[in-house]
Amino acid sequence: MMSDEHDADSEKAFKKDSLSLLGAVAMGTGVMIGAGIFAITGQVAEQAGRLFPLAFVAAAIISSFSAYTYVKMSNASPSSGGIASYLQEVYGKGTATASFAVLMYLSMVINESLVARTFGTYTLQLFDVENTELLIPALGVGLLAAAFLVNIAGNELIGKLSVLTAFVKIAGIAAFAVAGLWASGISLESGSQGAAGDFGVGGMLTGTALGILAYKGFTTITNSGAEIKEPKKNVGRAIIISIAICACIYLAVSWAVGSSLTIDEIVAARDFALAEAARPAFGELGRTLTIALAILATISGVIASVFGVSRMLTMLTKMKLVPHRHFGMPGDVHTHTIVYTVVAAMLLTVFFDLGRIASIGAIFYLLMDMALHWGVLRNNARDIGAKPWVLVTALVLDGVVLAALVWTKGSQDPMVLYAAGAGLLFVFGGERIFLHWNDSGEEQPSQP
């Protein structure tokens, strides 16, 4: 009964060839730019110090090695389940597959809450408001509610919105970067000042780990693989183009920010660093325009993210890797997964600040990413034509930055590790119990 229902829902939720290459690139950059530029520039600078633009470059390199695995898997088997399908292919159906897939889902939900809070933070910069503790999450929750309504409208509306906003964002942010660099004389002398400017290798690696969040939006493309036209050709192209566009933009913008503000100033305004960076270069009008651009970027980023993440949860439900209950709601399974995704993001938006959200999201994502690289290296590399040295490099790079992030947060903010640890126990324990109850918990021989 559940299988027939899911098959019917899938036909409605996943429309083959409904996304063009341009639409897929727009969706990927929409998620990445919304999170990368406006949400975590200050967080990365706080950790990496005056050379924080290089942390974005390092993050792009690591993400490119990671993307290799996803592209190879997608070329072999494009799917709207994306990562969940890849994990099942390399590990079989069991606790490992289900748990790492849920970690990926949670990291993407965390990303939504990160961008939603950023929307609230930048929006309030337009007003003279002192007490923002309640208003920031309230605005973030409102944005998530609006994203729910847009996603209910279907793929075509999302594709059109993504293409339109992607061009506006890229043009606007590129203009900000070029003008900022020109106004500052293309230097990092301003950013070299301040006590927070030198954090060493550990700080650089931690900043890089957070910077990876700025690129992980490319996985949204893999989650919609079956919906993209000519997926075996266009999924890989869309990922490569999206990462390349975002890497260029991140480097230029972070350099412009570092040229306009000292590191201490960036850290003090870490949740809205771009708005503050625009003030010395362009005055109050430029600051207002930057805030408007941030609002547009975060709105489109949340909409695009809900689109991809809800489809991943729908596929997890279809694969019987997670429980599903209707709770009396109308609509199909996909509609329900949109509801669950948005509600989860709302809760995170209310209860966690930007710094903790970013760190927990990075930990979950890097663990899942390493699990996929290891599984492909161990079980599927030859079948899909993947080069082992690339997989090993991706695995090592992920491990190094994850270790640095855990070490740094253990000394700076142990609550991040407590929350992440509790989340891991809940996910792995819950999945083992659920799969056992559903008579589906037997591990395949390839399980680690």
Is 82 in contact with 223 (CB distance < 8 Å)?
A: yes
Nearest to 374 by CA among 85, 91, 71, 77: 91
Query: Comparing 141-145, 317-321, 415-419, which segment has the lowest mean pLDDT?
Result: 317-321
Structural domain containing residue 249:
2-437
- Is the pLDDT higher at 418 or at 198? 418
Q: What is the pLDDT averaged over residues 293-302?
A: 84
**pLDDT of res. 342:** 92
Rounded CA gap, 260 and 282, in Å?
A: 10
Residue 295 maps to a domain: yes
**pLDDT of res. 447:** 43
Is 106 in contact with 364 (CB distance < 8 Å)?
A: yes
Residue 188 maps to a domain: yes
Pull the structure tokens for residue 96.
Answer: 């490992």
What H or E segment, with its residue span, contains residue 263? helix 263-268
* Residue pointed to by tokens 């999206």: 242
Is 93 in contact with 322 (CB distance < 8 Å)?
A: no
Query: Residue 189: pLDDT above 60?
Result: no
Cα 239 to Cα 63, 251, 345, 349, distances in angstroms: 10, 18, 25, 28
Q: What is the per-residue pLDDT across 388-430, written as a single tens digit (0 to 9) for each?
A: 999 999 999 999 999 999 999 999 899 999 999 999 999 999 9
Rounded CA gap, 397 and 392, in Å?
A: 9
Residue 324 maps to a domain: yes
**pLDDT of res. 249:** 85
* Residue pointed to by tokens 């924080």: 52
Q: Is 1 helix (H, G, I), strand (E, B) or coil?
A: coil
**pLDDT of res. 394:** 96
Farthest-apart Cα atoms in the chain, separation: 66
Rounded CA gap, 98 and 103, in Å?
A: 9
Q: What is the pLDDT averaged over residues 368-375?
A: 95
Rounded CA gap, 244 and 107, in Å?
A: 22
Residue 23 maps to a domain: yes
Split at pLDDT 50, 70, 90, the class of 1 is: very low
Cα 213 to Cα 362, 363, 365, distances in angstroms: 6, 10, 8
Residue 444 maps to a domain: no
Pull the structure tokens for residue 405.
Answer: 């992030």
Residue 443 maps to a domain: no
Domain tally, the chain: 1
Phi, psi of 228 (to 5 degrees): -85, 135
Give the CATH number for residue 322: 1.20.1740.10
Residue 447 maps to a domain: no
| Long-range contacts from 285-288, C-beta under 8 angstroms, 24+ separation | 286/179, 287/125, 288/126
Residue 333 maps to a domain: yes
Cβ atoms within 10 Å, residue 193? 15
Q: Is 126 helix (H, G, I), strand (E, B) or coil?
A: coil
Cβ atoms within 10 Å, residue 376? 27
